[in-house]
Amino acid sequence: MSEDVSFIGLGVMGYPMAGYLAANGHTVRVYNRTASRADQWISEHEGVACPTPASAATGSEVVFCCVGNDDDLRDVTLGDSGAFAGMKAGSVFVDHTTSSARVARELGAEAAKYGIEYVDAPVSGGQAGAENGQLTVMIGGKEAVVERVAPLIDCFARMQARLGDIGSGQLTKMVNQICIAGTVQGLAEALHFADQAGLDAARVIDVISKGAAQSWQMDNRAKTMIAGKFDYGFAVDWMRKDLGYVLEEARCNGSHLPVAALVDQFYSQVQALGGGRWDTSSLLVPLKHLQDK
């Protein structure tokens, strides 16, 4: 069944996600801060470009959003031109930004003042997952509300699940990032060691990837790391933003995350080496840099 929906934030992720909603027959009103990108989107898809989040959200049953961080999310939701001001009571705001759980709860409470339902739904799967409509979506919100938006999320997801109330999607994404940080650092150290030991690192990976050391990172990034190529998606600047939310949440809930905290510092070294836009597997670079000294 076709629905009236909106999409705010047509970045690397949001642009193709909004495209899948349109391709599935939904009527999509879009907003992007840089208007030329919204113009580009409507030249490629059925839809309407709007000048503010509020005007994009007007009349829609469900408003999707995918912007950068907590502050960006507040910018596009609150105030006279924010999405909440345009949304009708009973409609649902679905946020795909990776944010803090704190801001999800804060905006959930704010939305409730307008009679709007709020769902936090960060994604994993990267640019390729968004472009192929194969994202994994981790969701927090009321059960009935999450069920209500599930068929729409299916347009761009291969896996979606509700993990609890508002904030639970962001907390689950934090678990995801903790796993990735430790795994990538382990792989970077392993490749560095193999090289220093005079082994053929590519051959070593071919062998050990068939055993217990195997990981998604090993299967998808080891070869590009060995080649010194770090242009494969999720950027170090984004990862530091995410680890910032992880470490803030850990301070609140009493978790001890020594490896995540350390890897966050290694990523700051990558930034200092000019690699803020390199992908997360660039943890190999500071190791090689130190070895060269």
Ligand X SMILES: NC(=O)c1ccc[n+]([C@@H]2O[C@H](COP(=O)([O-])OP(=O)(O)OC[C@H]3O[C@@H](n4cnc5c(N)ncnc54)[C@H](OP(=O)(O)O)[C@@H]3O)[C@@H](O)[C@H]2O)c1
- Just list the catalytic residues: 173
Q: What is the smallest separation between the CB atom of 135 and ligand X, expressed in angstroms? A: 8
Q: Which is nearer to ligand X, 178 or 287 (CB)?
A: 178
Q: How far is the CB of 33 from ligand X (least distance, A)?
A: 3
Q: Which is nearer to ligand X, 8 or 218 (CB)?
A: 8
Smallest gap, in angstroms, from Cβ of residue 47 to ligand X? Answer: 15
Please, which residue, 103 or 194, has the CB nearer to ligand X?
103
Q: Minimum Å distance from CB 105 to ligand X?
A: 17
Q: Which residue is nearest to ligand X (CB)?
A: 11
- Provide the binding-site residues for ligand X, judged by CB under 6 A: 9-14, 32-34, 37, 66-68, 72, 75-76, 97-98, 123-124, 126-127, 233-234, 238
Alpha carbon separation from 227 to 52, 55, 117, 222, 282 (Å, rounded): 44, 47, 47, 9, 11
- Tally the residues of the chain: 293
Nearer residue to ligand X within complex by CB, 98 or 190? 98
Of 27 and 40, the one with the shorter C-beta distance to ligand X is 40
- Closest approach of ligand X to the CB of residue 150, in Å: 20
Planar angle of CA 262, 266, 271, nearest 5 degrees: 140
The closest alpha carbon to 30, from 12, 18, 13, belongs to 18
